[in-house]
Structure formats: C-alpha cells, structure tokens
Amino acid sequence: MTNLIEHPRGAEPGKPGERSAFRFEQRTRLSDSADGLGRGGARYGRTGVIHTPHGDIQTPAFVPVATQAAMKGVLPEMMRATGAQCLLSNAFHLYERPGQDVLDEAGGLSKFMNWDGPTFTDSGGFQVLSLGAGFKKTLAMDVTGMKSDDVIAEGKERLAFVDEDGVTFKSPLNGSKHRFSAEISMGIQHQIGADIMFAFDELTTLMNTRGYQEKSIERTFRWAKRCVAEHEKLTQERLGKPYQALYGVVQGANYEDLRRRAASQIASLDFDGVGIGGAIEKRIIGNTCAWICDEMPESRPRHVLGIAAVDDIFACVENGGDTFDCVAPARCGRNGAIYTRRGRYNVKRAEFKHDFTPLEEGCDCYTCQHYTKAYVDHLLRARELNGFTLATIHNERFFIRLLDDIRASIDGGYFEEFRDETLAKYYENGSRG
C-alpha cells in the first residue's frame, strides 16, 4: 500500500497542489419531515466521504484533538487502533512551540507526528476568546441577565485584544507579545500543512451584546475574505505541497438572523467547507446547524467545532454536521470520567476500587479488552501516566464508535430508532455530557 505520508494525493514537484485532491462526496441524506428544523422541513443529516490528500474520511465522523501534534499519553498508532480516521491540532499552540517552520521542514503535520491520515488545524480564533476572556474550553454557560462587551472570567487577566486588523496577545507560556491576523494565520497553517484548515475568525461568548455580535460577524467576514486571498496566494507559491482545504467559520451566537447572515457571507466566498463555530445555547444547537445549512451549498462539508455531548451530537448530525471535534473525551478521561452507552461515571469513586470488570461491558477498545476499573482507578489516583492512556483510549473509542454507528444508521435507514434508543439508555440515570 502507498504510504500516504510520503505520497499525498495531488502533490507534484514544482507545481501547486491540485485542488481536486480535496472534495466531498455525499451518499445518503435523511429525508425531510414535518418536524425538520431546516427550511421547508429539511433535515440535512447525511453520510458521505471527504477526500483529502492524506486519505478519506467517512462521515459523520469524530475527530480526536491532538492539540500539540500529540494526544496526551496516546501514540498515533494507538489512535489508529481506536478507529480514528483523522486528528485535529491547534495552530496557535504549534506556533508557540515548536514553531511552524519546524513542521514545514519535517514535511507537514502528518509526517511530523507519524500519522498516516488526514489532519485538521484550527486557526487560532478560539484563543482570541480563551486568552481574551479567560473561559478556557467551556463555552456553555448560564448567561441569564448577563450582557457585557468587556466580559472576562473571574480572576483572569485579559491577554488578547482585538482590533480591525487582527489580534495582539500575550503568550501564556512566557508573557511575550505576539500578533495574529488573517494573513499570519494562513501563513502559519500553510507551514503546519494540515489537510483541512480554518479561516481566522473572532469567537464571541453568549454574554456579548447583540451590538457586539453584529460587529463581530462583519469583522469575521472581512477577515474571511483576506484569508481566502492569502490562501490562494500561498497555494500558488508553495510548490510541491499537497492542496490544503480552507473552511470558513460561521459565527453569530444564538441569533437566528445573525447566523443566517454569517452563513450567507461565508457561502459567497470560495471556501472548501464550513466550520460551525462559537458559543451556542444547548437548547437550540440543532436549530443553529439547520439555519446555517439552509444558507450553504450541500457540496461543502460541515465541521461542528468543539461538540462532544451525546445529545448535541445527535442534534447536530440530524441537522447537517459532518465532522466533530472536542477535547472533552481525553480531558475528562484524565480526570476519571468514563463515557459508556449507559451514561458517564467517575471511575475514581470508592465503589470501583475492588471492581475487576472492564470500564464498559461489551466495549471493544484495547483498555476494556485488557484492564479493569480497579486498575484504571489505581493508576489515576497514583497519577501514573498509564492511567491517562487507558482512560483516553476508551473515551476516544466511545465517540469514534458512536459516530460510526450513527453513520451506519443513516445508511441503513434506522437513524431515528437508533437515536431514540441510544439517548434513552445514555440519559436514563441523568448522565451529563
């Protein structure tokens, strides 16, 4: 078999990468219905294939997050064994270390981390919020009665400042000052070399006022146009490199008209796909996806950024989400939270100290085939790195398998039955997440 790391599709010496090496092929779509959330009862859920220079992604699919070109405690070979088809890394963190020039010299992200499959990078837009407002990875929040354009998490210092041209920020590593703009983000991501990258956007919180949200989506649109222009320029200049797909990002918080406006703006530009981004109220997450899909061509794949609650995944798939990423499975696993088809539990509870059964009965992951709750509990309490590894393998496999099963249910014509049965089992004891 051809090694995809060494021989990506559409890359020839002395020539720009062939754009035809990236494309989306739609297969089965859910039928429209009276309760469909899209225009005219449309349901945009579907199966398909994203063809990339480093391989294909069968969709819907879960994309594990290898933030710094690594899953904490888990080798790329282990991630392949979980069934992972692709990985997502963070452009901001890779810019900070080891630097995008190192990845470029190594031959790109896939080769650098020895991952023989497709990769994504986000643009650094999330760090505009996390450094600016201090909310880290949590965007779901109770914002009743809270509206402020100077919102910041309690006890945090503002480290990022947005202006029309871009963002100035202090490094969380050493306090040094840096600058990100549309052009800088594109340059960094081109050197990192992922198959799919995202346009630089401004991510807002649900606490920001309506007026600020309006200004923000217009600024993100202006940045998006600059990203497309810089992407086209760099694609022509960087000869011999495989084509990198560029997704535009739709913001607009929880306002239907702003989401639709932003989606129409992004649809008007020459993007390869779309990222559904920003803080979204859980109660309308399916509606938000449907509003965006109403305004987007179906030929473009859709990535939902930062989603890993089981009910949210079903809602987003039904309304058009093709791929999903989130840090939660790995981060929760390192803290003892284990996902199962019967809900989520903490393996560090006292009752599991003498429990010599798998983390989940019937699970086919490496951890469940070889280790017990008692052993994983012991490792995590002792802060042994093997505990992080075993818990992460199981949790990532849970979400990868969930999306695989959802894909099969759409192709097989039993999505609704599978959705209802899965959610009933998962939440029967009030499990969160």
Residue 247: what residue type? Y
Q: 201 labelled as ligand-binding?
A: yes
Q: Is 125 annotated as a binding residue?
A: yes
Please say if 122 is a catalytic residue. yes
Q: How is residue 296 annotated by DSSP?
A: S
Does the annotation flag 278 for ligand binding? yes
Q: Are 74 and 392 in contact (CB under 8 A)?
A: yes
Q: Where are the alpha helices (DSSP H) in 74-209?
A: 76-81, 91-96, 100-106, 109-112, 125-133, 182-192
The reply to whether 101 sits in an annotated binding site is: no
d(CA 135, CA 112) in angstroms, rounded, equals 30
Residue that is written with structure tokens 């099963």 in the block: 405
Choose, from 104, 122, 322, 377, the residue flagged as catalytic.
Answer: 122
Q: Is 394 annotated as a binding residue?
A: yes
Q: CA-CA distance, 344 to 347, in Å (whole number)? A: 10
Kindly state the tokens that stand for 327.
């840090």
- Per-residue burial over 34-62, b if 16 or more Cβ lie within 10 Å, else e, is eebbbeeebbbbbbbbbbbbbbebebbbb
Is residue 293 a known part of a binding site? Answer: no
Tell whether 272 is in a known binding site. no
Considering 312, 322, 325, 377, which one is annotated as catalytic?
A: 325
HSE-CB at 71 with a 13 A cutoff on CA atoms is 33
Question: Which amino acid is located at 40 in the chain?
Answer: G
User: Is 251 flagged in the annotation as binding?
Assistant: yes
| C-alpha distances out from residue 82 to 22, 77, 79, 230, 404, Å | 25, 9, 5, 36, 12
Catalytic positions, written as ranges: 122, 325
Q: List, as residue ranges, the binding site.
A: 122-126, 201, 251, 278, 363, 365, 368, 394
Binding-site positions for Zn(2+): 363, 365, 368, 394
Residue positions forming the annotated binding site for substrate: 122-126, 201, 251, 278
